[in-house]
Amino acid sequence: MFRKEARTWPEAVPGFLLSPDDMLENLLTERPNPASERIDARPVEEILRIINSEDDTVPSAVAAAIPQIAKAVDAIETVLRNGGRLYYLGAGTSGRLGVLDAAECPPTFQVDSSLVQGVMAGGERALARATEASEDDGESGWRDLLEKGFSIGDVVTGIAASGRTPYVVGAMRKARELGAWTVGICCTPDSELSRAVAIPIEVLTGPEVIMGSTRMKAGTATKLVLNMLSTATMIRLGYVYGNLMVNVQPRNRKLAERGGRIIASVAGIPLADAAALLQRTGKVRTAIVMAKRGVVQTEAERMLEAVGGVLRRALET
């Protein structure tokens, strides 16, 4: 009886994009996990060890998807170098993770807040209070993207652990039809989302400890992939030298001190000299090139511009 109702109910709901093959019972993330059977009857330490053991499987699942993640980074870098922006789009946990990664880019890499944007079903109020019903609207994701200024020159990454969320899948189809770059992150093989995007990233984390609770392994995997996408892209754009954040802006005392230490370390000069250079230029990368190459500020900036802002290239050319 339950199986029959599960197959017929979504067909009666307007806006659903599901085929029988995509029903809840067939999703990898919705299957029961034998490792956590009777978890409610276990001592607390055993509960935690079961969760921890399942979490151990996530990094290998992400590693298997690295070739596709690399393709996505290449596409995102190209778009951003050409003046475009990166959008994350999702609902529920997936949407919140996208918003989180976007929010961390400005303080980490000192980029404009419009460069990486998170868009989620239900808007800002959904960040703190669940409004998951809004994810069933197959048209609203596209409307939300357009309201944020999305255009053909941008790239959008749709996030849906199930790979079937109408809010995400509908927007991805529209964006791809427009000719924009599209990336999809899901935890289900051969999903609707994967079929809707140019670059699918499938991280197969398997059944959750609590059946269907994709805030757990699937959420962890999604966070790892988003970390890789944004961090690798910013590295490629030249905002990192070695493992140092060389695009840091001296907007407060802490950041000025960090910038000075970075200049002193890379250029091999006294900290006082590094601080003076940073105060004069306001730019860590420019100050490093001046100190290392023995040039004035205008020449240092020209050298950086000639290599796309990548500090290593400016120092080695």
Q: Look up the CATH number of the domain holding residue 281.
A: 1.10.8.1080
The answer to whether residues 265 and 288 touch, using CB atoms and an 8 Å cutoff, is no
**SS3 annotation, 164-200:** CCHHHHHHHHHHHHHCCEEEEEECCCCCHHHHHCCEE
Residues 211 and 185 placed together within one structural domain of the fold: yes
135 is catalytic: yes
* pLDDT of the residue at 86: 98
Residue 37 pLDDT class (50, 70, 90 cuts): confident
Q: Of 203, 236, 269, at which residue does a domain stop? A: 236
| CA atoms in the 13 A half-sphere facing the CB of 121 | 27
pTM score: 0.83
Residues 284 and 135 placed together within one structural domain of the fold: no
Residues 164 and 265 placed together within one structural domain of the fold: no
Residues 79 and 160 placed together within one structural domain of the fold: yes
In a domain, 13, yes or no: no
The sign of the torsion formed by the CA atoms of 286, 291, 297, 303 equals negative
Q: Which of 30, 54, 77, 135 is catalytic?
A: 135
Q: Rounded to whole angstroms, what are the CA distances from 128 to 123, 201, 223? A: 10, 27, 18
Phi, psi of 228 (to 5 degrees): -65, -45
In a domain, 8, yes or no: no
Enumerate residues 6+ apart whose C-beta is below 8 A from 188: 27, 28, 29, 161, 162, 163, 164, 202, 204
Whichever domain contains 190, its CATH number is 3.40.50.10490
Average predicted confidence (pLDDT) for the chain = 87
Residues 128 and 196 placed together within one structural domain of the fold: yes
Mean pLDDT lowest among 107-116, 122-131, 175-184, 307-316: 122-131
What is the DSSP pairing of strand 181-186 with strand 155-159? parallel
Alpha helix (H) ranges present in the chain?
A: 2-8, 44-55, 58-64, 66-81, 92-109, 125-128, 140-147, 166-178, 192-196, 217-236, 253-267, 271-281, 284-293, 297-306, 311-316
Q: Which of 104, 132, 257, 299 is catalytic?
A: 104
* pLDDT of the residue at 107: 85
Number of domains in the chain: 2
Give the structural domain span for 67: 58-236
In a domain, 5, yes or no: no
147 is catalytic: no
Once rounded to an integer, what is the mean pLDDT over residues 178-190?
Answer: 95
Residues 265 and 200 placed together within one structural domain of the fold: no
Residues 136 and 108 placed together within one structural domain of the fold: yes
* pLDDT of the residue at 6: 33
Residues 261 and 228 placed together within one structural domain of the fold: no
